Amino acid sequence: MTHFNKLNDAELLRKFEMIKEDLEDVENEKKFTANQSGVHTSAGKVIAQMEEFESEISELKEQIAQCSEEIKKRGLSK
């Protein structure tokens, strides 16, 4: 867990943007992987990979919420 309250304002805002970009990247990778055709992969591997994507997406969304809350506490604008 990241301790957003220990970051200065500039670091906090930069971290917020980085986490949002990471989330977008993971969501795009998930879409790309799910839409691949012509590549033979077992159903078990596909399911495991999708679960991994979902887990990472959930974690990033939680970090965004925590970071956003800290930004709001400080009265900063995103």
pLDDT digits 0-9 by tens, 10-46: 999 999 999 999 999 999 999 988 877 666 778 888 8
For every residue of 15-75, DSSP letters joined together read HHHHHHHHHHHHHHHHHHHHT--S----HHHHHHHHHHHHHHHHHHHHHHHHHHHHHHHHT
pLDDT digits 0-9 by tens, 47-59: 899 999 999 999 9
Pairwise CA distance, residues 53 & 29, whole Å: 8
Domain of residue 58, residue span? 4-74
Contact 72, 11 (CB under 8 A): no
Kindly report which listed range (2-11, 19-28, 63-72) carries the lowest average pLDDT score. Answer: 2-11
pTM of the model: 0.86
* Tally of structural domains, the chain: 1
